Structure 1
Amino acid sequence: MGMMWNAMDLLFGGRNVIADTAHVWRENAEASGQRAVQMQSAALEQLAAEYARPRQSWFDGFVDGLNRLPRPMLALSVLGLFGMAMHDPVWFAARMQGLALIPEPLWWLMGVVVSFYFGARHQAKTQSFQRDMMTTAARVPQVVQQIQAIENTAKPDNPALAEWRSLADHGAATK
């Protein structure tokens, strides 16, 4: 057998012609996996750096609190209007007549302002969510290692535990 290998090495220069030829038509799965891991790691590092936030001051917290007020205020105001329509229909009708006098271009402007406000808020929340997801995704390899460590500690043979499990399985089978 050694002579055949020497003859093949002499003919083909010690290369695996089949493997070299296969790489022309099929990607190397192991190299592809390594590239994918490197690309994902680089993307996670880039996103983590992009979305890193410095510590907030009291003013930032105050402004964030103010930014959270309009949505609940709008919802509660609409519910309040329904309540006032039932409680004092004349008062409600007078207010609605006042709204009917607002010109249409002003309604369009109001729509634009509200759309930009909620659109910007949606974008900020989406970026915050993405940042949190990237932080969580970056921890996946660590969690996988911890799970493997836990599984490896549970693998040592324990004759007493094996006997107990077989008795428990036997007891469950007889019921």
Structure 2
Amino acid sequence: MSAAYKNIIRDHKLSHKLVPVFNVAPELELACSRVAAFIGERFMGNKQLLSAEMIESALDGFKRAKRAGNAHVAFMQGLFEPAKLLYARRYVARRGDHVAVWCPMVDAIPAFEERHANHDFEMVDERCPEHITERTAAFQLASRTLEGEAFRRYFEDYDVAHRYDHSEALEG
């Protein structure tokens, strides 16, 4: 498991909520770990770290579907639904007059942070100029974080992003 994932689970006290899920489906823990490793520990969501919001969204999906549907798929839907937030704000590294902006999905956020290690990082309330749908954002993050069978199972067999609109770009 990634260090970022372990820190997020510890700092946001999510372990006790995740144990029942991972006892039934241990592969979901790897998905959470890889998402946390890609997003890191600084990118903010709506109210807290985006990685933590994504894991909590996955738990909410799992709880809703536990009795009525496929909880594994609902967990993955919840995990990737907030991916649209990676395009809602810009993540910037500043040092004096030098400004670098993270381009969504080009590389992992921790890799961007490592390249700009002696910079100050901040969130800027400016949308990414790309026009992207929620479905595409979910698929892009999934393609960068899931491997082989996990990607095939959750995104081909069950089409986890099926509920997203196919044509409407996200609006600021």
TM-score (normalised: structure 1): 0.20
- Whichever structure has more strand as a proportion of its residues is 2
User: Based on CA coordinates, which of the two structures has the bigger radius of gyration?
Assistant: 1
- Whichever structure has more helix as a proportion of its residues is 1
Q: With CA pairs under 8 Å and 6+ residues apart, which has the higher RCO, 1 or 2? A: 1
